[in-house]
Amino acid sequence: MNRTVDRRAAALATLCAMSLMIVLDSTVVAVAVPDIQRELGFSPAGVAWVVNAYLVAFAGLLLLAGRLGDLVGSWRVFLAGLALFTAASALCGLAPTAGLLVAGRFLQGAGGALAAAVVLGMIVRLYPEPAAQARAMGIYSFTQAGGAAVGFVAGGILTDALGWPAIFLVNVPIGIVVWLVGRRLLPRETGLGLRAGLDVPGALLITAGLSLGVFAIVRTGESGAAAAAYPGIGGLLLVLCFLIRQRYATRPLIPLRLLGRRWLLIANAAVLLVFATGMGFQFVNALFVQRVMGYGALGTGLAFLPTPIVIGLVSLFVAPRLTGRYGARPVLIGGLVTLLAGLLLLVRLPTATSYVADMLPPLIVMGLGVGVTIPAIIMLAMAGAKPVDTGMVSGFSNTAQQAGGALGLSVLAVVAAGHTADRLEAGAVAVDALRAGYTRSFLLAAVFVGVALLITVFFLRRAPSTSDDVATPAAGSELAPECHAATRQGAP
């Protein structure tokens, strides 16, 4: 028994290590964006592609990766993704031009998608017991928060000391070690076999659709809404073609029985909004700290450090207990309210911002909110998934996370740039205009959270019924252990 527990813990540690690399990568890039822009000659709007190329590839390929995990085995897909992510990190670190860096970031996103798409499903299978699963999800969230904490500081140190290429090259030795350990420890399952079908055209359609959608948003900020009309319409048409493809494909990435689950769609709409807030806020706030408060790369990393520490402690020690006692939905509502309060406090930041008096308290409040929100919302998104569907449901949830991140970052960046330009035209000094633009983005992020809160309160009131092919707790249940017990039993 102890040997089984130890092996499960070691497998969980391997999965979390890859998640650490993914989060580490996103946070170190946020700190290094000004240096990358200056050295490779990105335009103010174009530099967003350093982040968005990764997010678009990640979001677009997650569904394909989830299905691939069901067909050939999650462990194979995880290791393949880890290998690609590690190789692409080396390419990014050695990239001499902006175009090659963006290409490397796209490949990084593809590798991250392969690995991340199967992680949640593997954790659910490793820990089917409700209490153990809640603890495992807490550890997973803690790892992500830890990666953020390490990433902000490490990104500042590496960028100041060795230059921005070091933030990518640091992934290479970590990736090699994790791959070797994972190959030995991860549980192996055979999968359904490739003959069961793989929808590559569907994956290409959704990736291209998301890419055009993000391009349209960025184009709006650069040249106005008229210039963004054609790529925006093109993106919508490609997404529509993807949905039609899923209707008629022999082996779709998202079976109709999943697309017909009202709970799954609504829960992941909330997931999309929460992650749009998180990724967009992280990008915009890094710019606020550097351009309004005048901090360097290392100072920015240190300024961000308290938030992921709070998130990690709450997600590891507080969130599992609250979820086990009250259920995921009440905990999620409380977390969203707390997160909303923190964002609204940041909207009031003055131009002469004091970090200790003005910024730190809202960041800590946000950390408390995120620390309980992320584990709870992930559990809700995975609720009731049958073992055979865990790869697809995990991929769908991760797609919502990354698509939300890409869209949220683009929207908040465009809003900040647009409002800043308006203030400059009205005669405001540069620093005041920047403050106004960034705080307007904080307000929009608060709107995202408010909508997610309304969705949770009014549309996630009870678990899905068995007719929806998922588990059904008793009426009024808040998706506490009953839902996960049904998942363990593979309830239809």
Please write the tens of the pLDDT for every residue from 466-476.
Answer: 344 443 333 33
95 three-state secondary structure? coil
- For 388, other C-beta atoms within 10 Å of its C-beta total 10
Q: In sequence order, which residues have a C-beta less than 8 Å from that of residue 254 and are 6 or more positions away?
A: 63, 246, 392, 396
- Given this model, what pLDDT does residue 473 score? 37
Do residues 376 and 183 lie in contact, with contact meaning Cβ atoms separated by under 8 Å?
no
Q: CA of 331: how far to CAs of 130, 337, 377, 453, in Å?
A: 16, 10, 9, 12
- Amino acid 160: pLDDT: 84
Give pLDDT, residue 385.
67
Structure-token pair, residue 375? 């584990």
Short-list 265, 326, 304, 293, CA closest to 134: 326
Q: For the packed helices 430-459 and 390-425, what is the interaxial angle rounded to 10 degrees?
A: 150
Q: What is the DSSP string of 98-139?
A: HHHHHHHHHHHHHHHHHHHHHHHHHHHHH--SHHHHHHHHHH
Q: What is the pLDDT of residue 104?
A: 95
**CA 142, CA 137: separation in Å to the nearest integer?**
8
Structure tokens of 15? 């999965």
User: 127-182 pLDDT, tens per residue?
Assistant: 877 778 778 877 887 777 667 667 778 888 888 888 889 989 988 998 998 898 88
Contact 472, 464 (CB under 8 A): yes
Cα angle, residue 438 at apex, residues 434 and 443 outer, rounded to 5°: 145
Q: Calculate ∠ Cα 19-142-285, nearest 5°.
A: 80
Q: Given CA atoms 352, 357, 359, 360 in this order, what sign does their dihedral have? A: positive
The total of other beta-carbon atoms located within 10 Å of residue 486's CB is 22
pLDDT of residue 203: 82
The pLDDT assigned to 222 comes to: 66
pLDDT for res 474: 34
Q: Which CA distances in Å does 407 have to 28, 402, 424?
A: 20, 9, 26
The pLDDT score that the predictor gives to residue 196 is 59
pLDDT of amino acid 192 = 66
CA distances from 319 to 133, 134, 138, 368 (A): 12, 8, 7, 10
Which residues, given as ranges, of the chain have pLDDT below 50? 1, 465-492
